[in-house]
Amino acid sequence: DIQMTQSPSTLSASVGDRVTITCRASQTVSTWLAWYQQKPGKAPKLLIYQASTLESGVPTRFSGSGYGTEFTLTISSLQPDDFATYYCQQYNSHTFGQGTKLEIK
Amino acid sequence: QVRLVQSGAEVKKPGASVKVSCKAFGYNFTDYYIHWVRQAPGQGLEWMGRINSDRGGTHYALKFHGRVTMTRDTSMNVAYLELGSLRYDDTAVFYCARRKPGGPIDHWGQGTLVTVSS
């Protein structure tokens, strides 16, 4: 199985900050990578797919990059609604990263 | 409007089985696979497997082999997850989600809480 490792596990930041979350795959997944946002008690929401394509309706402050085994999700200017947990998923064999909780500093 | 509507919460005893349903609205059911994802309390997302809604073929995560069965009813646009030999650590929210072949999971059900308790 392909293992997905996210870092950091927890990230403390303030409104307006630029933040980056990293996701590493144990073997190449090309660009078969998606990012999801999850808020407490809710289902995940698709943000980014194909490593860098923004899902329709998702604010442009979210962006993704990467290829192969290393990927990043960047939020250019944090908004109050962005404090949540973020997961990467490779959709070759579908494993998820362990999640990154984005907290208010 | 695409919606996946799941069945309600369940409480089961250890050793029992649970069957969760996921009814699809607003799209052609057989054009998408249905995936199932588990989330234990306070934990991350865990992929369990998927079913080809058109042909019925399944692919399960190794961890759940022998305990999980995914089926679908194309006449009702419903997918089912059955998990057997339940243990206390199977207590979790189970999500169904749709995925077009070659694409990401793009819509999720609301989740079904399954509690395993004696």
What are the tens digits of pLDDT across the range A64-73?
A: 999 999 999 9
| Average confidence (pLDDT) over B67-71 | 98
Q: pLDDT (tens digit, 9 = 90+) per residue, A8-53?
A: 999 999 999 999 999 999 999 999 999 999 999 999 999 999 999 9
- The answer to whether the Cβ–Cβ distance between A46 and B106 falls below 8 Å is yes
- From residue B45, give the alpha-carbon distance in Å to each of A3, A26, B14, B26, B72: 13, 18, 22, 25, 23
Cβ distance A91 to B104 less than 8 Å, yes or no, reads: yes
B112 at interface of A, judged by CB pairs closer than 8 A: no
Instruction: Please report residues of A whose CB lies closer than 8 A to that of B42.
Output: none
Mean pLDDT across B61-76: 96
Tens digits of per-residue pLDDT, B1-17?
999 999 999 999 999 99
Please name the residues in contact with B66: beta carbons below 8 A apart, sequence gap of 6 or more.
none
Q: What value does the mean pLDDT take over residues B88-97?
A: 98
Q: Does the distance separating the beta carbons of A34 and B104 come in below 8 Å? A: yes
Examine residue A8 and say whether the peptide bond preceding it is cis (omega within 30 degrees of 0).
yes
Instruction: Judge: B62–A97 Cβ closer than 8 Å, yes or no.
Output: no
Please list every residue in chain A whose beta carbon sits closer than 8 Å to the beta carbon of residue B61: 1, 94
- Out of A49, A97, A98, closest to residue B104 by CB: A49
Cα B4 to Cα B21: distance, rounded to the nearest angstrom: 10
Question: Residue B101: its pLDDT value, please?
Answer: 87
Q: Can you give the pLDDT at residue B68?
A: 98
Q: Measuring CA to CA, which residue among B22, B64, B13 is closest to residue A43?
A: B22
Say yes or no for a CB contact (<8 Å) between A87 and B103. no
Q: Is the pLDDT of residue A1 over 90?
A: no
CA distance A40 to A99: 13
Sort out which chain B residues have CB atoms less than 8 A from A44's CB and list them: 45, 95, 108
Per-residue confidence at B64, pLDDT binned at 50, 70, 90?
Answer: very high
Q: Dihedral of the CA atoms A98, A101, B1, B4 (nearest 10)?
A: 40
E strand or H helix that includes residue B93: strand B92-99
Q: Is the pLDDT of residue B65 over 90?
A: no
> Which residues of chain B lie closer than 8 angstroms to A92, CB-CB?
none
CB A95 within 8 A of CB A2: yes
| 8 A C-beta contact, residue B49 and residue B64 | yes
- Whether B57 has a pLDDT exceeding 90, the answer reads yes
